[in-house]
Amino acid sequence: MNALLSDWTTAFSLPPFAQITDADFGPAFDAALAEARANIAAIAASADPADFVNTIEAMEQAEALLDRVAGVFYNLSGADSNEAREALMRDLAPKMSAFSSEVTNNKALFARIESLWQTRDDLGLNDEQMRVLTLYRRMFVRSGALLEGAEAARLTEVKSRLAVLGTQFSQNLLAEERGWFMELSDEDLVGLPDFVVAAARAAGAERDVQGAVVTLNRSLIVPFLQFSPRRGLRQKAYEAWVARGANGNAHDNRAIAAETLALRQERAKLLGYTSFADFKLEPEMAKTPSAVRDLLMRVWEPAKRTAEADAAVLEAMLHADGIEGPLEAWDWRYYSEKRRQAEHDLDEAALKPYLSLDVMLAAQFDCANRLFGLEFREIDGPFYHGDVRGWEVTRKGAHVAVFLGDYFARGSKRSGAWCSAMRSQKKLGGDVRPIVVNVCNFAKGEPCLLSYDDARTLFHEFGHALHQMLSDVTYGFISGTSVARDFVELPSQLYEHWLEVPEVLEKHALHWQTGEPMPADMLQRLLAAGTYDQGFATVEFVSSAMVDLEFHAGPAPADPMQKQAEVLEALGMPRAIRMRHATPQFAHVFSGDGYSSGYYSYMWSEVMDADAFAAFEETGDAFDPEVAARLERFILSAGGSQDAEALYLKFRGKMPGVEALLKGRGLLDAA
């Protein structure tokens, strides 16, 4: 019996992870795709006149089994990959793309949708149903439903090839990160804080190496670059980190990036758009490449001025150490950490014992309780990996969701941090409650001690999780995070602000050994340093966003690396700072279409999140119940049930300007 295809009798209808084998996935996808195809064919061939129930609601339920199987597999393939899962990913990419194209190219099916669209004002639809109909029609049109003949066939080929390339890009990057490490002798460990040494030894043990190693996982390599006094080792590690996907081996991603950009441009042309950016941005809040460029450049100039002033200070520190020559990229974090200690008397090694994973989890749950009345009860597995923890989420005794947390770096997990749903909320066909997963890549330790940036990442991903868990819509198509790409980061970035509320850290930042709270003067210094090094962080981000935009806003570059260099030169990129994500490792943009032409969206959302938190600050209470109720009603529970701008206006009453963002990053004086 295939566990993926049987009824799940587990608590909360969780996937029966202990019974699922890798051999189950292929047959389960075959069965699920066959069932979905049959359901779609029946809808399209129905002799009954099209109505909302027999067409749109039927489509909403047509792929239920496929959604269930995919919800398990794609979560596992990102968080706990292996050779069998990677092989199936490669096999599934064209199959899933082909199925999607079959649906959107089905002329009889689109004719039913179009007939509903043309008579929409006479159907008696409520607002949510009208929104769902609008989005279904838009999805079909943007997928090529209006194309005929050779153009329709070519678009199907292009989308299939893009799916294959995205999978290859991701797997190449994972292989690069899994394959490289640098062994450290006892002498090489001198000067590193205990938490870095412990993480390096744990990474060595995972790779069956006697002793400590540095890997290309951000949670280990960044603190190594911050604290290692050995400049040669910093350079070696840094150059390996930024060379991922560009090493001229079987995992090189440069040709994949070039082909991807060319195919995206072809796709846009087939659909009648000047560029892929024009196509991609049309349904977003930004709407046009020029609007994105304007936002990024308004932030770039003050960020660059701040970063250049900071670079001069750090270079003077480098020279004071007797090192000639310019400040290099592998020097920045090391001297910036020294400067932070000197100017803010803030030593990350002294700070981290107060920011263990357990106390920060308690903090994020407590904030959710105070804001939205949610309660979290830890539950037993088994889950898909031994590192995973689970909680039942309730409110006033009623079940809301299951929340899974997968927090530690390992070789089977792709880099970064993300939120996904194994099951999304919906009411059609019964009250379906979500299973939400947060994935991070913290260095595993006993205990796991977080940097302040790590804690911010934890809160960020939990903001996404709240968007999924508090969703309250009828149709899965608009559930949770199914919103405009430049709106989806609002809940996540907004939730980060509660980490900066003094009373939160006063209550929860407890020393992992003694249980003592963080000293008041340390807390004050931590919060005072909140905008420290924001020139660097903003330049890192905006340069990546501009490269992404310019890749897609004109003709596809034959050589993306040359185009990247041209964009950075035009920006006047500071010498000692690199893009946060260089092209061959830019998974946001090349592992799929999600953030292509859309990496800017973090900053677009940040304009709103700064303003949204100000709504709480204006009341004098970071947990004001009336503002929290509006936030849940109009943002967190609404999903994609309305246009993003309309939802924000209902919450806040106005749209914000970029000044709130600059103030939040400490860049207003440089503007």
Report the amino acid identity of residue 431: D
Query: Using CA atoms, how far apart are residues 198 and 408, in angstroms rounded to an integer?
Result: 14
Q: pLDDT tens digits for 368-380?
A: 999 999 999 999 9
CA-CA distance, 123 to 132, in Å (whole number)?
13
Would you please indicate which residues are annotated as catalytic (active-site) residues? 461
Mean pLDDT of the chain: 96
How far is the C-alpha of 205 from the C-alpha of 191, rounded, in Å? Answer: 21
Say how many C-beta atoms besides its own lie within 10 A of residue 122's C-beta. Answer: 8
Q: What is the pLDDT of residue 551?
A: 98
Strand ordering across the sheet containing 435-442: 375-379, 389-395, 398-408, 435-442, 418-423
**110, two tokens:** 């689109």
Give the pLDDT of residue 444: 87
Helices (H) and strands (E) counted in the chain, each on its own, are 27, 7
User: Max CA-CA distance within the chain?
Assistant: 83
22/34 Cα distance (integer angstroms): 20
What pLDDT shows up at residue 470?
98
pLDDT recorded at residue 671: 76
Structure tokens at 528: 């005072």
All residues at 6 or more sequence positions from 61 whose CB lies less than 8 Å from its CB, including other chains: 39, 428, 429
Q: Kindly report, residue by residue over 132-175, the tens digit of the pLDDT.
A: 999 999 999 999 999 999 999 999 999 999 999 999 999 999 99
The arithmetic mean of pLDDT across residues 258-281, rounded, is 98
**496/111 Cα distance (integer angstroms):** 45
The pair of three-digit structure tokens given for residue 23, joined into one six-digit string: 């051999």
Tokens of 493: 């970035």
pLDDT of residue 415: 87
Q: What is the pLDDT of residue 75?
A: 96
Cα separation, 367 vs 397, in Å, equals 18
pLDDT score at 20: 97
In three-state form (DSSP H/G/I as H, E/B as E, the rest C), the secondary structure along 337-386 is HHHHHHHHCCCHHHHHHHCEHHHHHHHHHHHHHHHHCCEEEEECCCCCCC
pLDDT-derived band at 670 (thresholds 50, 70, 90) equals confident
Q: Among residues 69, 72, 7, 80, which one has the least CA distance to residue 33?
A: 69
Residues with Cβ < 8 Å from 533, sequence gap 6 or more? 310, 336, 340
Amino acid at site 561: M
Q: What are phi and psi of 122, to 5 degrees?
A: -105, 5
Rounded to whole angstroms, the Cα distance separating 200 from 214 reads 6
Alpha helix positions (H), 143-249? 149-179, 194-206, 218-227, 231-242
Give the mean model confidence (pLDDT) for residues 6-25: 96
Task: Name the nearest CA neighbour of 66 among 26, 32, 97.
Answer: 32
* Residues forming a β-bridge with 418: 439
What is the distance between the alpha carbons of residues 14 and 423, in angstroms, rounded to a whole number? 9
Q: Where are the alpha helices (DSSP H) in 474-599?
A: 485-496, 502-508, 520-528, 534-552, 560-571, 587-590
- Residue 244, φ and ψ in degrees, nearest 5: -50, 130
Beta bridge partner(s), residue 517? 510
Locate 257 and state its tokens. 């990036």
Domains with residue ranges and CATH for the chain: 11-104+106-142 (1.20.1050.40), 180-242 (no CATH), 254-346+534-599 (1.10.1370.10), 353-528+602-666 (1.10.1370.40)
What pLDDT is stored for residue 669 in this prediction? 87
Give me the amino acid identity at 423. Answer: R
Phi then psi for residue 477, to 5 deg, are -60, -25
**At 574, which amino acid appears?**
P
pTM of the model: 0.93
* Whether the Cβ atoms of residue 475 and residue 60 lie closer than 8 Å to each other: yes
Paired sense of beta strands 435-442 and 398-408, if any: parallel
Joined tokens for residue 542: 């905006």
Query: Which tokens sit at 285?
Result: 């809040």
What does the alpha-carbon distance between residue 498 and residue 367 come to, in Å, rounded to a whole number?
A: 7
Peptide bond into 382 cis (omega under 30): yes
Cα–chain-centroid distance for residue 230? Answer: 33
Element spanning 101, H or E: helix 83-104
Strands 212-215 and 398-408: unpaired
The mean per-residue pLDDT over the stretch 336-350 comes to 92
For 435-487, what is each residue's pLDDT tens digit? 999 999 999 888 999 999 999 999 999 999 999 999 999 999 999 999 999 99
Mean pLDDT, residues 611-633 taken together = 97
Whether cis (ω within 30° of 0) applies to the bond prior to 16 is: no
Q: What are phi and psi of 440, to 5 degrees?
A: -130, 175
CB within 8 Å of 142: residues ≥ 6 apart = 271, 279, 283
d(CA 93, CA 447): 39
